[in-house]
Structure 1
């Protein structure tokens, strides 16, 4: 089934400093049932929302199929975990997701390369295993709402969206 499995909206950056020192504590309520997106700005309430340095990469999406069993957004620090969508192949495309509240288009800008933190957050070897499978960084092209649960999706080439 194609779905949004998890959503993460974190107001703080937890993976700063050296991996051997461990992550900062997770704030309560990071994993949510829905997120609100704003065109060109990101997810309202997220640490990268409206940050100039992150405007072209304010939303991250990763495929559940890329992760080892039991791993989720709390470990990889991406915003949207989907099942059944090959997101790593979509760089340069527009991914449109609709979880029932209308379509939200995401311009897929580049890969979200994993870092050494993955060996700490998931398991030794995860950093290497997630290369080319660490998800994608996107810019929202619409205001909208995404929810956990079934989702429809389309992929289009920029300039050819309907």
Structure 2
């Protein structure tokens, strides 16, 4: 297996969007993000069971991949609080996002059930809710380190634990 060894620290699906309105009002009632030991990825649709699965407005950014190292400055923090779908350790995923002049990278994640390709799209910019959900100062502290929103290109399964990440294409033609 080629690529960079990484660890999939957590996998999350969340049936509803809990962070709406003003952070000072607090989150709306939420059954909470659901930590998974494995997730089913569907090409062009997202993660089965997630709030963005098969939503037209989110098809190009249905899955968020995050580098847990961005949380190290805030002490021990449960990475599920970021509400990012795939939390990794061992690779700076923010560098994969598209810019104004270059489309995002295509990369694979393989946790043992075969590689699953993703097209990195845009940065997953943090919002003011991060100060409430993660820790004071997280909104500013996670700027440029909030992860990357992606579209899955393959069906597959990802599992928590050791995995490999391989960048397949640094720049591909935009659709």
Q: TM-score w.r.t. structure 2 length?
A: 0.86
Structure 1 segments (4+ residues) deviating >6 Å: none
Partner of 2:91: 85
Within 5 Å, give how 1:58-137 maps onto structure 2.
58-67=62-71, 68-91=74-97, 92-137=104-149
- 2: CA distance, partners of 1:149 / 1:26: 27
Q: Following TM superposition, by how much is the alpha carbon of 1:150 offset from its aligned partner in structure 2, in angstroms?
A: 0.2
User: Secondary structure of the equivalent of 2:39?
Assistant: strand
Partner of 2:161: 149
User: Secondary structure of the equivalent of 1:102?
Assistant: coil
Where structure 1 has 5 or more consecutive residues not aligned to the other structure, the ranges are none
Query: What number of residue pairs does the alignment pair up?
Result: 160
Q: Following TM superposition, by how much is the alpha carbon of 1:73 offset from its aligned partner in structure 2, in angstroms?
A: 3.5
Q: How large is the Cα RMSD of the aligned pairs?
A: 1.6
- 1: CA distance, partners of 2:17 / 2:79: 13
Where structure 2 has 5 or more consecutive residues not aligned to the other structure, the ranges are 98-103
